[in-house]
Chains A and B, each alone.
Chain A
């Protein structure tokens, strides 16, 4: 069972719908035991980094337990950002620090938020992105972005290049919305289900 972590940060129905379509059992849950015991964990989320404050405590403990058990974890959008150390959007909060660095705003030369379809620049082997062609289009909607790191498996160019996808071991994060990215997104979610 795939646990979709519910911390009241946006609409989780579309992530669930994509797993339904792929024939994978998933549940939207805020129950720490269900999260710690899940086969896979998805951490979605939209909006301000402040929303991740709701993860502090039992939910974070459950996610940490899942990570220690090497349960595959997929952070989407704000979920990916929370896997980094922090964000300038809410500097008083800490992320999980699974990937190094701080999320920051787009430079003033480009319009923000970054909304729409942009292309993936693949960097090295990735189980999550397996089968996705170079320059695949995926759907983004965000005002802050994560830096390029050693674990970046896809970058995206918009006012400079940022991390569109990161991957290390059983940890995966995507800044875009695979559940809204057409066939490329479904392929990615299918890869995650196969892990």
Chain B
């Protein structure tokens, strides 16, 4: 049976894993390569590395981190943050990534999605959507923000999701800005709205705090995968224990693995 995926996310700034609450107040959580390997051995189904600073000076640091992480990781490895062009994506793939995430650059130029998909395949292009609840939505009550949640785009999250699928995205990584870092649970309504609008897999992100949150987002949000960061790094929820609990709740998991 195809299992639901548990994805460990590493938010990296200047070569170190950091974690913010609602996209701010960072703190150091360790070395990315070390953490990635630890998560993989603990049962993570995938690892995502997001370069959250993505300034020009840090690009070479990032590629070095990607290289060090990739050489010992034999599960899918996604890298994102600051990918603005096919060349940026190519550098990350060459360093050992299997997939890239694009976000702000795809909002500014949606043709970036097919450009990368044409060369590396749709399965290698994950479009990250940072969504938030808004009072007056267009077709849904969810809007889209760009540049790490800093700028409004005027786009509707459901419309944007269907558009990126048409452009050839292989998966959608959907982050609820409202829930990110709160550990209060995923936004299942947001997740379900996107899942119902597209046929490509949807990764739910933002708000993971306990095993029941994962049960909810798989059962009620119908997510294909769920992503979390700090609860795994800080050992709040060991991945193996989480997977056993989800399996007991009837959610298909890769366990033991």
Contact = CB atoms under 8 A, between A and B. Distances in A.
Contacts of A119: 1
Nearest to B225: A116
B170 A21 contact: no
B130 to A, nearest CB: 22
Contact of B123 (A8, A113, A158): A113
The interface centre, meaning the residue of A8, A11, A114, A181 with most chain B CB atoms within 10 A of its CB, is A11
A11 B124 contact: yes
A41 B248 CA distance: 43
Contacts of B122: 47, 113
B98 A11 contact: yes
B213 interface: no
A119 B121 CA distance: 24
Contact of B71 (A8, A20, A111, A182): A20
Interface in A142-187: 142, 157-158, 179-183, 185-186
Nearest to B198: A111
B70 interface: yes
A118 B96 contact: no
A10 interface: yes
A112 B121 CA distance: 15
A139 B76 contact: yes
A14 to B, nearest CB: 6
B20 interface: no
Contacts of A118: 1-3
Given A116-B45, A137-B3, A137-B257, A182 B120 contact: no
B224 to A, nearest CB: 7
B2 A116 contact: yes
A112 B199 contact: yes
A13 B76 CA distance: 13
A10 B2 contact: no
A111 B74 contact: no
Chain B binding site: helix, strand, loop or mixed by DSSP?
A: loop
A141 interface: yes
Contacts of B75: 139, 180-182
Contact of B121 (A47, A111, A117, A180): A47
A115 B224 CA distance: 9
A179 B74 contact: yes
Contacts of A10: 120-121, 124
Contacts of A181: 74-75
B40 A117 contact: no
B183 interface: no
A175 B117 CA distance: 20
B220 interface: no
B5 interface: yes
Contact of A21 (B4, B71, B124, B225): B71
Nearest to B90: A11
Given A10-B120, A137-B254, A117 B98 contact: no
Interface in B107-124: 117, 119-124
B201 interface: yes
A15 to B, nearest CB: 11
7 contacts: A9-B121, A11-B121, A17-B96, A115-B171, A116-B201, A119-B1, A137-B254
Given A11-B120, A180-B98, A182-B40, 5 more contacts: A14-B96, A47-B117, A116-B2, A116-B3, A116-B45
Interface of A: 8-11, 13-14, 17-18, 20-21, 46-47, 111-119, 137, 139, 141-142, 157-158, 179-183, 185-186
Interface of B: 1-5, 40, 45, 70-72, 74-77, 93-98, 117, 119-124, 170-171, 199-201, 224-225, 254, 257
- In the A-B complex, the 4 residue pairs with the closest CB atoms: A47-B121, A46-B121, A141-B123, A117-B254
